[in-house]
Amino acid sequence: MKKTFVLSAFVGLVGFLITFLANSGHNLLGTSLLRGFYGFVIWFVLAFLLGWVLGFIMKSPEAADAAAADGESEAGLGNQLDISTPGEDQELIDLLKPKPAVEEGGTAEGFKPLQPPKLVSMKDPEELAKAVRHLKEE
């Protein structure tokens, strides 16, 4: 905990210096110090939170062993990953085998190829020109 606090204070000091130096040329000394203090607080809090989150994520092995000795973990729950899949060999073999030809009265009769309607109409060109002229007038 002491290391986290000292490291956060150091990062906060760096934030203070950056903020103070960025403001000292444009503002009065009091304003620059106040903004530097705000920078210190913000950088300190961010560094402390980041250290806390990283410490939580990456627990040391000694802490995990101590927790296991205290009985906090449940018999190695989540320590082993089983990646085996159930056997589906027979289904795959059945899919790869060619099927025997079906008699004419079976499913082959039910298949009809798609015959979409034609979109082009074969009307008289003179009639089409008359329709276009009529639409242009309105």
- Over the chain (138 residues), the average pLDDT of each successive run of 10 is 86 94 91 94 94 84 59 65 75 78 57 78 82 86
Please list, in sequence order, all residues whose beta carbon lies within 8 angstroms of the beta carbon of residue 58, skipping any fewer than 6 positions away: none
For residue 97, give the DSSP letter.
S
How many whole angstroms separate alpha carbon 71 and alpha carbon 114?
Answer: 68
pLDDT at position 52 is 87
Question: Which residue is associated with the tokens 């960025």?
Answer: 22
Q: Is the pTM of this model over 0.85?
A: no
pLDDT at position 21 is 93
